[in-house]
Structure 1
């Protein structure tokens, strides 16, 4: 039977024949009702899932957005976004500083920074030669500063952050490194923590503390960044390994600390590049790692033991460029150079197998040797090259006052 005839027969079914066709008709109605039930169940499931998801999302959102932060006395509760807390933690880990970081460094370090007055005796009595800053490194009164701050002093005065003024004695000086250690008769003094300058990076925060312009502006704090590291600056024939910073330095800052944002001393403020009004923000600090061993030697021995030739001179070169070296102007008595027979007017052209053109070349060569070692030197004298064996010695100087 084709489909058309089938539907025609269904239309012609009489009520009496409904019972015989009920099974077929009932089957069709039952299938439609089953689909409706399934659809209803599905709608209920979706509705329940949506409600559950909404509640879960709201719960998770509340856990993410809200946290309780208690004050130290636990009397107050502040509700804050976790996102803000996490951002703050992230910023802290990344090294960014809060607005109060410099304040905290100043509060922690300033008590250990002192003012130093250099006084000399003349016909009219004690006169001020100058002033600078210092850093208390030992609670029993040891203070590190620059050599040039106390150079030529007949009397050294120290002014503590509390305002108390004390006499100081010179424990030891090292002109070559421009460092000195002085001591006051006091106990339980606040001290500054010495850091590790090898970890300093360009762009790090830098904080300088000192008596800018003397006692008129004690405990001045300036801040900037580390502009460069491992700078080599030649001053008076000596090579200094320094940190460069744009933190403002003024007369009186010499000998004061250059700190990192954690409050550790990473350098000792020493030099400032100046060329009238054309130069701004170029200051230098002796790295604390360079200073540590020198400070220890000054405290224990009053001086630093390092090998020296015992000569003074300047760079020269002949007109025909055949002879280049250091024209020797002075030879220290009883020095290795003097014992070896080196004389003023000689030209030192080679040392330890290396050509020398400046005093800084000699400094670099001697840095790799110890006291008592012998090295070969070559000098030019009256048109001849003469070889000499030089025993490295320590030049004895009266550093105590």
Structure 2
């Protein structure tokens, strides 16, 4: 009995130990299992999140890839276009700037003072171009005509008195001189090479000394325009560069800084026309300047008449009506009379007064040319020996 009891007691103790031990082991395993399960869940969530992010990024990248590509391309292309536009703008700007810097010091402002009731009074202003380092300046005749006192203002601000050397009213050009040496001079170009559309840059004093050195730019609008003004015919370049009255006598330049014309007239004051400025072509001006400097006058072949274009519907005659014949001229010697109508000159039909100049420009003083005039219903042919130009009232 006692042995059995001891054995049962032992079995119960072992069982209790085993139960206790077994309980402890079971509890630890459940905790580990829960931790493993939690770790797996977190890992799954992380993997899912990362996968979702990658997938979303891929889908978004694919969806907007074209747009992104376009934006990148635009960012690569646009700066180049902007650079090109900037370069073009800079080139144009630099071209005009260089011309202004090159020619500006050779352009002067001219003030004309005439005797008035209260003494010397301003009679007008204009511009001029220094063409000789010893103080010779070319300008328009109308800028200095009738002046009692002429002053010249340089780009530096210095003012000097000037005197009239010689003038040619027909070409509207004059030469004045200041007592100075080593002055900067402008470079005269070749106006025969000028083309419509070429850059044209005007420099001068558009509204007097307060706006001296003003620069305007445009293009050459037309070549060999013939403008009749004040009884004279001008062969001029037409430009849309802004030219105001004070620009008269100033230079019209090309993009190389060469003077291609001398600004002289502006059409539009009475006709509300804008962008129509005119300049005497420099080739014509050069020959006049040389003549004035060498001989003190300009020698031109001259018929010896004053008149105007006319059309007689009654007599069916068209030509140039002779209003006056200059004494001792070629026309006077040939027997041309007032009221005659010149219908042909040098075998060319005459329809307008400008046609006479076209013929005369091809001849020299002393040439004899045929002339047909209509007089009292008859056509008469005479020979006229071209003489030198004689100004009216001289």
TM-score, length basis structure 1: 0.71
1-structure distance, mates of 2:186, 2:249? 13
Is residue 2:288 matched to residue 1:294?
A: yes
Contact 1:238 1:360 (8 Å CA) reproduced = no
Q: Which residue of 2 aligns with 1:308?
A: 302
Structure 1: where are the runs of 5+ without partners?
A: 1-83
Is residue 2:338 matched to residue 1:338?
A: no
Q: Which residue of 1 aligns with 2:262?
A: 268
Q: Which residue of 2 aligns with 1:378?
A: 372
2-structure distance, mates of 1:329, 1:398? 13
2-structure distance, mates of 1:363, 1:173? 20
SS in structure 2 at match of 1:299: helix
Hey, which of these two has a bigger chunk of helix by percent?
Answer: 2
2-structure distance, mates of 1:350, 1:175? 27
- CA RMSD after TM alignment: 2.5
Offset of 1:398 from its aligned partner?
Answer: 10
Change (3 A) 1:114 1:398: farther
1-structure distance, mates of 2:164, 2:293? 10
Change (3 A) 1:129 1:364: same
Offset of 1:340 from its aligned partner?
Answer: 2.0
SS in structure 2 at match of 1:247: coil
SS in structure 2 at match of 1:243: strand
2-structure distance, mates of 1:275, 1:161? 28
Change (3 A) 1:208 1:152: same
Is residue 2:355 matched to residue 1:350?
A: no
Contact 2:129 2:249 (8 Å CA) reproduced = yes
SS in structure 2 at match of 1:252: helix
Is residue 2:115 matched to residue 1:121?
A: yes
1-structure distance, mates of 2:301, 2:217? 38
Q: Which residue of 2 aligns with 1:139?
A: 133
What does 1:320-331 correspond to in 2, within 5 Å? 320-331=314-325
1-structure distance, mates of 2:320, 2:238? 30
Change (3 A) 1:228 1:397: closer
Q: Which residue of 1 aligns with 2:201?
A: 207
What does 1:7-156 correspond to in 2, within 5 Å? 97-156=91-150
2-structure distance, mates of 1:368, 1:121? 42
1-structure distance, mates of 2:195, 2:355? 27
Number of aligned positions between the proteins: 310
SS in structure 1 at match of 2:93: coil
Cα deviation digits, residues 202-248 of structure 1 (max 9, x gap)? 33222111011111211111122222333333334543322222211
Offset of 1:96 from its aligned partner?
Answer: 8.8
Q: Which residue of 2 aligns with 1:39?
A: none
Q: Rg bigger for which structure?
A: 2
Contact 1:237 1:360 (8 Å CA) reproduced = no
Contact 2:201 2:216 (8 Å CA) reproduced = yes
Cα deviation digits, residues 362-390 of structure 1 (max 9, x gap)? 11111111101111222233333332221
Contact 1:294 1:304 (8 Å CA) reproduced = yes
